[in-house]
Amino acid sequence: MKIKRIHTNLINLILVLCIVSPGILAQKVSLLGSKIAGTYLDHQSGEVVSLIWQEASEDLSLFYKANAYLSDRKVKEMKVLKSNQAKRTLKIKFSDSEYICDFSFSADFQTFVCQNPDKSKQLFKRVSSPVNKSFTYFVSKFPKDTSTKIDVTSRLKVKNPIPIELMIKFVLSKYEDLLNAYVGIGLYGALDLISKGDGAKFDEARYNAFSTVLSPMGGWEFHYVAQLNLSENYHTLLLNLEKNTFEGVLGNSIYLVNFSKSGDFIDGINLGYKKLYYKSGSDFKRGILNKSEILITDKTVYDGLLSYLHPGQATYFGHSKYKVLSNGKIKTIIRHYARPEGMYRTKNYHGHCFIGNIKSNKLRVTLQFLEQEQPQYFESVSFYPGKKTFWVKNDETKKVLKLQFNDSNTGFILTQTNGKTVTFIR
């Protein structure tokens, strides 16, 4: 697939496989899709092809980059022209180009040969990661910062993109909370990924990175921010996640992540963010890092337009204090919210809950577990902000649940009608 520099050479290609006709072609591709899905590398040229199978929609998305270290904005898109299951072949065409090549897969689907228009051939092999550089290389990409006090909100606009393959190998494969946040696991989104393992999450991360860069809404990108010197015993990296989605939610988040010298994940924390909810409010977290001490203040504003979650207009505040220990772990000293409204989840991500405000003495609870296709809605039978226990009821099923909050409003125990309890954390 030596896609030459002609017609936007095969450099960086996010081939979102738009299957042109929903008929026989789509059926044939669907038979191959799950088998050929994976990331492939030409070890000679460094070119990378990612084939991502979207099971729910039965779509195959194909992505190409000239090498894994280029910005994801260099990705190109392709579509399938022909598919032959018996011969295990695909004929593909690059979007916005007349460049056409043929993929022929081996019987075990571990390799494929790409035949280019000039009849030259390339061998691509399936790999878990196309990145062969070291963790030291990754760290070196972060600018060194010797500041002893940092207001992270001043770093939210940093623009220095990190290729998604580097993020997967060195960060997302080790930092579960960040990976789950990036692929959108939560209410109304991607809960099915939890039961499919990390491989499915990594493919979703690639899909997010590649497919959104061509969107007029922008995209989902990580950025190098800084390399701090909190300790000689471990590396401290600051990175920024910028998200601009089709829902109109624009967000910037700064994460602090500690690694051992060999690249093992130690701990991480979201230090600060700014999120604008299209016509419905904003969420702002300001973090101050002073040597090993972290102070965070939260302010969330709802304008009453998220009627299905938070019908009322309100502003909420919270504050937290953390300590970065000598071993790189991050210890919570104080974490407190004035009221219970906000987003919660179970530790294993199987359950998600949003508590919104209808009026001063009434709450709306939106609850969804992994096995449920749609969230359930409950409204509080009675609620008094000073009390930590209240009951909620679903008007259709008449089901009643009990919520027992802790003193800091950072979590609650949900008691179900069968007496079973589930713990949620903010």
Query: How far apart, in whole angstroms, are the C-alpha atoms of residue 192 and residue 178?
Result: 17
- Confidence grade of residue 278 (pLDDT, cut at 50, 70, 90): low
Query: How far apart, in whole angstroms, are the C-alpha atoms of residue 221 and residue 211?
Result: 11
- Confidence grade of residue 5 (pLDDT, cut at 50, 70, 90): very low
pLDDT digits (tens, 9 = 90+) for 375-417: 999 998 877 767 789 899 999 999 999 999 999 999 999 999 8
Query: How far apart, in whole angstroms, are the C-alpha atoms of residue 322 and residue 330?
Result: 7
Residues contacting 273, CB < 8 A, separation 6+: 156, 251, 252, 253, 254, 283, 284, 285
- Which CATH fold would you assign to the domain 24-127? Lipocalin (2.40.128)
- Average pLDDT in the chain: 87
- Confidence grade of residue 306 (pLDDT, cut at 50, 70, 90): low
Name the residue ranges covered by the structural domains of the chain. Answer: 24-127, 135-338, 351-425
**With contact defined as beta carbons under 8 Å apart, do 155 and 166 qualify?**
no
Q: Could you tell me which of 272, 245, 270 has the C-alpha nearest to residue 256?
A: 270
pLDDT digits (tens, 9 = 90+) for 51-86: 999 877 788 999 999 999 999 989 998 899 999 999
Residues contacting 109, CB < 8 A, separation 6+: 35, 36, 38, 88, 126
pLDDT of residue 303: 77
- Confidence grade of residue 40 (pLDDT, cut at 50, 70, 90): very high
From the number of C-beta atoms within 10 Å of its C-beta (0-12, 13-18, 19+), residue 370 rates as: middle
Query: How far apart, in whole angstroms, are the C-alpha atoms of residue 52 and residue 42?
Result: 18
pLDDT of residue 19: 31
pLDDT of residue 93: 95
98: helix, coil or strand? coil
pTM: 0.87
User: What residues pair up with 222 in beta bridges, in sequence order?
Assistant: 162, 241
10: helix, coil or strand? coil
